Structure 1
């Protein structure tokens, strides 16, 4: 096994079990490892640190996997890690919910691998050269453990490009393709999702708990669900007695899917309007028309993919939330989210404060949303905490 030595004083993060070693920390590479190859990592003083996989195409040159020198990174190791992650989610899957995240990359000690369960099918994201190199083994293990009918590649192509990998999104990796609209359940709500053509892995199961929590506030209220996608917040609102729900998304497929979900849940008789439009433009239309809502939900895509984009993202979040506040009834509720890992919760709160100032509003934070237990945050990898949200009462 090829050995890599770190520069002096660059071992601290590895000793604290952080899984990333950046290219600037490398001192010596004793050989020519292939990208994705397992290597042995040592400190400058020749102390064993960990095993990891190497990639000279990535800013993260080594992603660490195992800190015990006596372990062997073989099929049994991969099987054990994958089985452990899946076993930890068993309590989440039941008659009311048959979709969740089974493997969450670094948080489950498997950097570069994400696996989502949708009823009898799996959506897999293979994001790094190390996981790509082990792909056949990993897919075989997933089949053996889950007995899935089919496994579809839903890799984020931008992430793969950062690791020097070609696009693979949409490929069938094992078994059979899911139907165009696969029915899944979450908290008793039915969804038709399109795994192959849908956004990300097909469904945003990271909002499962937040959808349920927010739904407890909507009885008898008028609700605006912005960036609604397949209707998670909309459907939970309808189920829990909202008087009227308006759903907005720029994607025609999202609106089509939402309307199917309205039907399969038997919500046709409840007041619901679906609007295909750019959300920021539509919020301005609501403002110009004098439309008001009791609850406004803002769940935008990732505005800050990296820290370098944070300033621009902060302005976008501020403008979006300012518009949301301006169409709320006095004392109404704003449920606002950020899925940008580069933006921590304190920065997000500051952005909401700026938005309130610009909107001429007073704001109380009454609840803080976070990601659910199938998206755990590993204590040695705080970067895994990406989803945050605030429930605000706005005056």
Structure 2
């Protein structure tokens, strides 16, 4: 039986919690949670001991735990997880019948009612990511619920929490049949090679699906495209399939070369006709300026935080300067696809970075269109930080 304790909110935040705000942190809770066992059930009550919500203690980078039920009689048990997961699936049934897209998110943390986990689908195989030991403490009930989901072939997991400062590194296989890797999945008819058994990254970030499709269908034809922080080259593959005259993919990670070659090859693209460069993106920008290289489209999708030997990049501090580097090598009437997954600022502030970057370079621009998370990455209005993705297509004049 999981322990359960009563906790008190900071009175300033009581109304927020009553309206459905799900995240517990040191500022909005008066009770000291630090000595609790992760996974402890928490019942949040007001000053008169009236029930507000129930959740659990689980430390992750966002906070100390999550509220998951605003129904006083609802227990956090196997039936609870069956309901949550089935409801999430019901809202995404059309994805399960889409033959052109066989990889998508099935359960998106607090957006689907249980912060601390995500569940993705890859051609019959499910991947759960645990973001705290607290979330992981519910593993038996959650895994049991997952095994009842549609087209279930097997389950893999990634533990995103650390034990004694180190991230857990073990066999990611949990249950079912083991596929042969790479596992080939489709996104809008384009193939991706997926590795569920090979470290933290699987081969593609599913939240950029709509942006990749837009680049292929509307922007790439005949264009010279630069894809920075390119990872496995997904944007480059879509650009090439959209008729790009040339793609250049730049990423610091050594494995990006073989991974990008693989993604081009499984889609019938001659990778030798594309440019794949293993280099620090900041160094490449300087090289491009020196060699007077310029591009019709520059895709900027950096991690929120990155460190190389010579550079430390923080999206909240450095995105404006990164944009200035991109502006310098974008042709007149060219397009910059500016993207960030940093949750510490909103779209309004992001557009402020764009405006400052152009003003400081003396250029003019037009915002063409913008994107946030796709529908399978469900978010809730009570927790705006959950809608982390910001993508803006910018035309340079």
TM-score, structure 1 length as denominator? 0.90
Q: Which residue of 1 aligns with 2:196?
A: 195
- Are 2:172 and 1:171 aligned? yes
User: Is contact 1:99–1:117 with CA below 8 Å preserved after alignment?
Assistant: yes
Of the structure 1 ranges 295-304 and 145-154, higher mean CA displacement relative to structure 2 is found in 145-154
The alpha-carbon deviation at position 41 of structure 1 amounts to 1.7
User: Is contact 1:193–1:203 with CA below 8 Å preserved after alignment?
Assistant: yes
Q: Which residue of 1 aligns with 2:247?
A: 245
The alpha-carbon deviation at position 177 of structure 1 amounts to 4.0
Q: Which residue of 2 aligns with 1:180?
A: 181
Cα RMSD, aligned residues only: 2.7
When residues 28 and 241 of structure 1 are mapped into structure 2, their CA distance, relative to the original with a 3 A threshold, is closer
Q: Which residue of 2 aligns with 1:299?
A: 301
What does 1:133-282 align with in structure 2 at a 5 Å threshold? 133-157=137-161, 160=162, 167-168=168-169, 170-197=171-198, 199-215=200-216, 216-268=218-270, 271-282=273-284
Unaligned runs of 5+ in 2: 307-312
User: Is contact 1:221–1:242 with CA below 8 Å preserved after alignment?
Assistant: yes
When residues 392 and 33 of structure 1 are mapped into structure 2, their CA distance, relative to the original with a 3 A threshold, is closer
User: Is contact 1:210–1:370 with CA below 8 Å preserved after alignment?
Assistant: no
Of the structure 1 ranges 101-110 and 168-177, higher mean CA displacement relative to structure 2 is found in 168-177
The alpha-carbon deviation at position 328 of structure 1 amounts to 1.1
When residues 326 and 28 of structure 1 are mapped into structure 2, their CA distance, relative to the original with a 3 A threshold, is closer
TM-score, structure 2 length as denominator? 0.89
When residues 170 and 249 of structure 1 are mapped into structure 2, their CA distance, relative to the original with a 3 A threshold, is farther
Partners in 2 of 1:59 and 1:269 — Cα distance?
40
Q: Which residue of 1 aligns with 2:309?
A: none
Give deviations 1:138-178, integer Å, cap 9, x for gaps: 11211222453332222324xx569x996256532223444
Partners in 1 of 2:349 and 2:246 — Cα distance?
33
Q: Which residue of 2 aligns with 1:67?
A: 70
Q: Which residue of 1 aligns with 2:343?
A: 341
- Are 2:67 and 1:50 aligned? no
- How many residues are aligned here? 387
Unaligned runs of 5+ in 1: 305-310
Give deviations 1:173-204, integer Å, cap 9, x for gaps: 22344433221110100111222325545420
Give deviations 1:340-389, integer Å, cap 9, x for gaps: 01121111111112221333321111111211111122011111011001
Q: Which residue of 1 aligns with 2:108?
A: 104
Partners in 1 of 2:263 and 2:21 — Cα distance?
41
User: Is contact 2:194–2:202 with CA below 8 Å preserved after alignment?
Assistant: no
The alpha-carbon deviation at position 24 of structure 1 amounts to 4.3
The alpha-carbon deviation at position 303 of structure 1 amounts to 3.1
User: Is contact 1:97–1:188 with CA below 8 Å preserved after alignment?
Assistant: yes
Instruction: Provide the secondary structure at the position in 1 that maps to 2:344.
Output: coil
Instruction: Provide the secondary structure at the position in 2 that maps to 1:151.
Output: strand
Q: Which residue of 1 aligns with 2:19?
A: 16
Instruction: Provide the secondary structure at the position in 2 that maps to 1:2.
Output: strand
Partners in 2 of 1:371 and 1:58 — Cα distance?
21
Q: Which residue of 2 aligns with 1:308?
A: none
Instruction: Provide the secondary structure at the position in 1 that maps to 2:147.
Output: helix
When residues 126 and 55 of structure 1 are mapped into structure 2, their CA distance, relative to the original with a 3 A threshold, is closer
Partners in 1 of 2:99 and 2:60 — Cα distance?
44
User: Is contact 2:132–2:160 with CA below 8 Å preserved after alignment?
Assistant: no
Give deviations 1:70-121, integer Å, cap 9, x for gaps: 2222211110001111222221241111001111111111110111111122
Within the candidate set 380, 383, 387, 1:381 is matched to: 383
Partners in 1 of 2:233 and 2:124 — Cα distance?
22
User: Is contact 2:203–2:232 with CA below 8 Å preserved after alignment?
Assistant: no
Of the structure 1 ranges 65-74 and 5-14, higher mean CA displacement relative to structure 2 is found in 5-14
